[in-house]
Structure 1
Amino acid sequence: MHIKRLTAGILAGLLMVMTGCKDYLEVNNNPNQVTAATPQLVLPDALATTGWYLTGNTPSGVAGNFYFLNLWMGYWNWSGNYSIATSDKNYQFTQGFNNSIWSSAYLNLKNYNYVDTQAATLGQPLLQGMAKIMKALHFQLLVDTYGDVPYTSALQGTTTILPTYDKAQAIYEDLFKQIDAGMALLAKGDGTLNPGPNDIMFQGDISKWLKFGNTLKLRMLLRQSEKADRASFIQTQLATIKASGYGFLGAGENAAVNPGYSNSQNLQNPLFGAFYAINGNPTTLNNQYKGNLYGITFYKSTNDPRLGAYYRPVAGSTNNFNGTLFGTTDVLVNSQVSDIGPGVLKNVSQNSPILQSHESLFMQAEAAQRGWITGDPKTLYQAAISESFINVGRTAAEATAYYSQAGVANVNWEASTNKIEAIITQKWASENGTAPFEAWSDYRRLGLPTNIPISQDPSTTVRQIPFRLLYPTSEYSTNAANVGAQGTINQFTSKIFWEK
């Protein structure tokens, strides 16, 4: 079984219709012919699409859904080989900016919703529980990107073709209920149909699904950490997590999907395949995205062995790494700038991360430091760094040597006077290329790392990384009254409810 990269035509299919074992993203079927699709065959397509959504190309192949956040967060920069639109360099984007983040999410939510409803009809609680948790993940990403979005009246098909918008905070609160409902189904589903290998994330390991549910809830609670009026809600939810006894994703427990990526046309891992063709030659994106000087300087200044995982040495060198700052007019030729490294672009069959083990451990370290959960923050912090090293092909021994450097703030625990800043800085350092959305979210929440540079482009009149994206053009053309009720939206002033 293999995956096919989504194209604009494929995205037209809302539900996968299968009667046998087919390619996991063969979704260009009539969405009205759903009677032959069983939940266990739709689930892997939906999971694979989530992996594509977070790390793959947009349908047009121009750029990944969240690749631009690698630019904003100091990981990558544009190369000097292409003429880039000014709006891509000064944050002054319009409603047409990355509309696929919205459309692709709702398309895949229809798939998970189908698994949810059909599994309920067929008495398959394990599949239903998985679908509920994954629906919560996608709605969480939508809220964190846009704020208020269609929720209660969404996914209704022709019943409600003009869905109204729900308040972001209310959606968040209901997502906890949906995750709890999903976990309850998983907990009671022993002995019922387990999708096994069709669960391309955890291979039917229900204990990991339960940990994943708790970890996703912890992510959403930490989003709200700076809002005093959310303290009571946070404590109530933490009590539920503790009472469950399931814990969180730990060392070696990556939530990642792999439907069988291979070195064939359109069957590669979507992140790797965006940068390298099956013959090993660089693609256009490989020539567009290069190392950012901010990130390279950080890894160099902290003696971080991950430098060679996140970036490649410049041409003709074995240890010379170089980059440019986002938006700079001082453009270098490609041979003078580092490419994206082998810890990010490993091979055609690498997993697509959904929520990595080191992110979970960093979140646990922060929660423990805040007194939200039990556990030693230092131990969790160091374990998170070790997992980060391992996940990009480095060793635990290298990680130990790294965080044991005496006197290096935001690396060595004892040398860091602000423990939260140390945790978030190292979390940022671990998300290069694979989880820029989480780095952006922490930056919006805490302003960390504090010195991420604003775009250097001279046209950058608002010297601020945006708080959110704008609603897509499609909403203003097809759901105008409901999106219009949200008022005037501005990426620099319209905040998500949990932002500072």
Structure 2
Amino acid sequence: MKILNLFSKSLLVLAVVLLGSCEKHLTELNENPNVVDPSTANPNMLMPTVMTGAAMGYLELGYNDIAGVVQHTQKDGWFSGHNHYDWGPQDWSSWYNLLRNNDFLHQRAVESGFKFHQGVALTMKSFIFGLITDLWGDAPYTNAVKGGVSNDFLQPAYDSQEVIYKGIIEDLKAASALFASGDNTGYRTGYDVYYNGDMSKWQKLANSLLLRYYMRVSAKMPEVAKAGIEAIYTSGVYMKTPADDATMNYIGATAANSWPGAVAFQADPSEYRRRKPAQTLMDNLLSNNDPRLTVWFAPVYVRWVEDPTLDVAVDPFIRKNGVIQQGVVSLTDAKYLTEVKAGAKFTRHYNPDKFGRKLDTREYVGVPPGLIDPSSYNYNPTPGQVVENQHVSQLAEAYRGSSGGLLKARLISAAEVSFILAEAALKGWAVGTAETHYNAGIKNSLDTWGVGNKYEAYIAQKNVAFNKTLEQVLEQKWIASWTAATEAWFDYRRTGFPTMKAGPASPAPVLPLRFNYGDNEMNFNAKNADGAMGRLEVTPHSGQRGKNSPWSRPWIVQGTGKPW
């Protein structure tokens, strides 16, 4: 019996030893060496994901469909969303995915005691939530991006725009204070893709975003906006030159990390070709001899020439250096580019008396907004989705590129900040003189685009010299927002400037005000989404979509009488 008991005890000890060994082995097997343990994640590793995602997403908006809304560009192929605001439900999941990563960044920064990383996380949180509420209206905020299994988190309530803007302002104040400490403990060089750990520039970014959002709410919370803008101006800590701009360079190694539409990653570069300057912007640049014109846009490949002596209405073929090219109506984009670089001049003559109407004979030609068939504009002989319009300007050759030079995503600029202060001064707020800030905004924009040496000649133009009007300040701010058109849209929405009209193919005769809430929200968070839609104001232009329409008013413009 004793032997049996001893044998049983021995088996028990062996089993415990084996079980412990097995458990340790299984634990080791379940540890993925390729995944970072959340409890030890380094905040530096999290920053690039949030920063690059936010910058690229913002550039995509301002270079694509919103550039069409504010009439910086028009498309002549696959154009309905760009030119006509033919928008279906717009999903915001990519922005909330960034916010989840950013929330983890903030958690790890707090746990690690890293003030710099906390400030970055609060700044990026403010930027992204600001964009969400600017684009859609009310949105999940207080309970957004939180874990858990309760319905409050899986189906978060929508906060009002007022609550969101107030939260953004408080977070940016907190971020500014963290950056003011100068403590960048824990930062590793290369992980901050905006400023490489320069806390003074981050504080300028936080304060400049505060200026943006104070001005955004100035019609709804004027006293808050006035006090906030005056305080930041008094501090002197905000963007003053393009060296302070929040920008991100593209890597250019793949289509995913290159400038949108980079031709290196397209068998046929139609994405580049179908984006054209809008006539609204083009006419402004031409009328004021704006030096940014040639930086942004290219001359037409084939210039129209009025010729009353022509026996027919229109030349059947193009002319090269004045000589008819028999049988040649047009060339390919690549052929034109090669020939033009070699010095060739292409024209096509027409007789307006026989043709019965005028064509645009200028060297630079833009497409009017919202045309029914923009590819045919200016009597293009090759209309359609793919072939270029030889009688309309394309973007400058630089925008064929993948990275480098001017190809940067810009979140906010010194030019924008200067125009904000100019507007504040026109309101009578204590921020210096409107003319000083207005001129600085123009100078900063020209410097940004490499034509600062043309400032004196440009500012002397009759329509550019300061005339003390809000319309002029907003017009110049609109021009300066090239490739960052979202801010121009939000400015237009709250002020009605610059004056723009929707084109003939638009579903409404006025410009839209917001994005539609997406299908995911309507399907999986319907109660809260319905509540948010109920707080939108239906307008005569809302149409069959009802409240969830691009022409319904969110809180930020309700009661303001703007923009239409």
Normalising to structure 1: TM-score of the pair? Answer: 0.81
Select the residue among 391, 394, 406 that pairs with 1:336. Answer: 391
SS at 1:277's partner residue?
Answer: helix
Matched with 1:289 is 275
The 5 Å alignment of 1:242-321 reads: 242=233, 245-258=235-248, 261-262=251-252, 264-266=253-255, 268-271=257-260, 274-277=261-264, 283-316=269-302, 320-321=363-364
Select the residue among 490, 507, 529 that pairs with 1:441. Answer: 490
Amino acid at match of 2:524: T
Q: How many residues end up aligned between the 2 structures?
A: 441
SS at 1:336's partner residue?
Answer: coil
Q: Unaligned stretches of 5+ in structure 2?
A: 1-31, 304-344, 346-361, 381-388, 535-546
Matched with 1:225 is 218
For 1:335 and 1:261, how far apart are their aligned partners in 2? 31
Amino acid at match of 2:195: F
Q: Establish whether residue 207 from structure 1 lines up as the match of residue 200 from structure 2.
A: yes
CA deviation map 1:188-222 (0-9, x unaligned): 35262234431111111111111111111111111
For 1:89 and 1:238, how far apart are their aligned partners in 2? 35
Q: Unaligned stretches of 5+ in structure 1?
A: 1-17, 20-28, 57-63
**Is the 2:443–2:455 contact (alpha carbons within 8 Å) kept by the matching residues of 1?**
yes
SS at 1:140's partner residue?
Answer: helix
Q: Establish whether residue 322 from structure 1 lines up as the match of residue 358 from structure 2.
A: no
Matched with 2:158 is 165
Tell me the CA shift for residue 72 of structure 1: 1.5
SS at 1:485's partner residue?
Answer: helix
SS at 1:441's partner residue?
Answer: helix
CA deviation map 1:333-384 (0-9, x unaligned): 4212111225766661233211122112211222223233422321221121
**Is the 2:300–2:392 contact (alpha carbons within 8 Å) kept by the matching residues of 1?**
yes
The 5 Å alignment of 1:59-458 reads: 67-79=64-76, 82=77, 84-85=79-80, 89-95=83-89, 98-99=90-91, 102-159=92-149, 160-190=153-183, 192-227=185-220, 230-238=221-229, 240-242=231-233, 245-258=235-248, 261-262=251-252, 264-266=253-255, 268-271=257-260, 274-277=261-264, 283-316=269-302, 320-329=363-372, 331-332=376-377, 333=380, 334-341=389-396, 348-349=403-404, 350-394=407-451, 396-405=452-461, 408-409=462-463, 411-413=464-466, 416=467, 418-432=468-482, 434-450=483-499, 452-457=500-505
Tell me the CA shift for residue 308 of structure 1: 1.2
Q: Residues 130, 498 of structure 1: CA spacing in aligned structure 2 closer, same or farther, 3 A cutoff?
A: farther
Matched with 1:8 is none
Q: Residues 344, 251 of structure 1: CA spacing in aligned structure 2 closer, same or farther, 3 A cutoff?
A: farther
For 2:183 and 2:130, how far apart are their aligned partners in 1? 28
For 2:411 and 2:507, how far apart are their aligned partners in 1? 35
For 1:33 and 1:153, how far apart are their aligned partners in 2? 25
Q: CA RMSD in A?
A: 2.6
For 1:143 and 1:303, how far apart are their aligned partners in 2? 37
For 1:165 and 1:66, how far apart are their aligned partners in 2? 29
Q: Residues 111, 259 of structure 1: CA spacing in aligned structure 2 closer, same or farther, 3 A cutoff?
A: farther
Normalising to structure 2: TM-score of the pair? Answer: 0.73
Q: Which has the larger radius of gyration?
A: 2
SS at 1:388's partner residue?
Answer: helix
**Is the 2:263–2:401 contact (alpha carbons within 8 Å) kept by the matching residues of 1?**
no
